[in-house]
Amino acid sequence: MACSIYKSFRKLKKRGLAREERPYFKKHVIMLDDHLFSLDLERWEVSIATEHGRIRVKLLHGTYHEKFKDMKAGEAWIVRKKDEFYLNVCFSKNVELMEQNNKAIAVDINENNVAYGSTEGIENFKTKERAIRTAYFLKRRRIQLRLGSRGENLMKKYKERERKRIEDIYHKLADKIVEKARKEGATTIILERLTNIRKRIKYSKVMNGRLHRWSFRRLQRIIEYKAELMGLNVVYVNARGTSTLCPICGVKLSPNGHRVLRCPSCGLEEDRDVIAVRNLLLKLRDVGASSVHPEGPIREGMKFYVRPERIIGSN
Q: What pLDDT is attached to residue 315?
A: 29
Model confidence band, residue 184 (pLDDT cutoffs 50, 70, 90): very high
Q: What is the pLDDT of residues 139-168, one digit of tens each?
A: 988 998 998 888 888 988 999 999 999 999
Confidence of residue 172 (pLDDT cuts 50, 70, 90): very high
Among 40-49, 151-160, 253-262, top mean pLDDT goes to 151-160
Structure confidence at residue 301 (pLDDT): 56
Q: What is the pLDDT of residues 105-119, one digit of tens each?
A: 999 998 889 999 998
310 by Cβ neighbours in 10 Å (0-12 / 13-18 / 19+) ranks as middle
Mean pLDDT (the chain) is: 81
pLDDT(310) > 70:
no
| 49-77 mean pLDDT | 78
- Strands (DSSP E) contained in 51-83 are 53-60, 72-81
Can you tell me the distance from the alpha carbon of 117 to that of 107, in angstroms, rounded to the nearest whole number?
7
Give the pLDDT confidence score for residue 167 in this predicted structure.
Answer: 92
> Interhelix angle for 205-213 vs 129-147, to 10°?
110
Instruction: Provide the pLDDT for residue 168.
Output: 94
Please say if the pLDDT value at position 313 is more than 50: no
Closest C-alpha to 233, from 183, 291, 298: 291
Q: What is the structure's pLDDT at 123?
A: 92
Q: Can you give the pLDDT at residue 139?
A: 92
Mean pLDDT of 39-68: 79
**Amino acid letter, 308:** P
pLDDT above 80: residue 298? no
| Reported confidence tier of residue 312, pLDDT bands at 50, 70, 90 | very low
Write down the H helix ranges in the chain.
2-14, 129-147, 152-184, 197-200, 205-213, 216-229, 272-287, 308-312
Torsion sign, CA atoms 276, 278, 284, 285: negative
Specify the pLDDT at position 200: 61
Domain-wise residue ranges, the chain? 2-94+298-312, 104-287
Does the pLDDT value for residue 307 go beyond 50?
Answer: no
pLDDT at position 220 is 92
So what CATH class is 104-287? alpha beta
- Give me the pLDDT at residue 32, please: 86
Average pLDDT over residues 163-185: 94
pLDDT exceeds 60 at position 252: yes
